[in-house]
Amino acid sequence: MAWHKAASTDALQDGSVIGVEINGLDIALYKLDGAFYATGNICTHQHAYMSDGYVDNGCIECPLHQALFDIRTGAVVDGPTKSPLPVYPTMIEGDAILVELPD
């Protein structure tokens, strides 16, 4: 596991999501209540980017078939998949959001 710079903290407004690619991995970054979270950016149902979806009440809704995942845990809350999103640890260093990813 290693820490990677993913984005600047000012790239995200509270309640928003952006997609980034780090070492070939598609990652979705979120800001919720002032804290930053990271999940896989590809839906576990079919191929859709979670960063094209909608953040609502601590969840991300897939734009394609509306699967709902808990942003903090990746757990499926509703929808056509039973597979959670992978989640990754985050930390802030200066004005950078760092994400810990597998080597």
Q: Could you tell me the smallest distance in angstroms from the CB atom of residue 67 to ligand FES?
A: 3
d(CA 58, CA 47): 22
Nearer residue to ligand FES within complex by CB, 44 or 90: 44
Residue with tokens 């609502």: 56
CB neighbours of residue 6 within 10 Å: 21
Chain positions 24 to 63 lying near ligand FES, rule: CB under 6 A, are 43, 45-46, 48, 62
Beta bridge partners of 101: 2
Given 19, 58, 80, 86, the residue binding ligand FES (CB under 6 A): 80
Nearer residue to ligand FES within complex by CB, 47 or 94: 47
Nearer residue to ligand FES within complex by CB, 20 or 68: 68
Given 6, 67, 71, 101, the residue binding ligand FES (CB under 6 A): 67
- Please, is 93 exposed, middle or buried when counting C-beta atoms within 10 Å of its C-beta (0-12, 13-18, 19+)? exposed
Cα torsion 8, 9, 11, 16: sign: positive
Q: Which residues bind ligand FES (CB under 6 A)?
A: 43, 45-46, 48, 62, 64-65, 67, 79-81
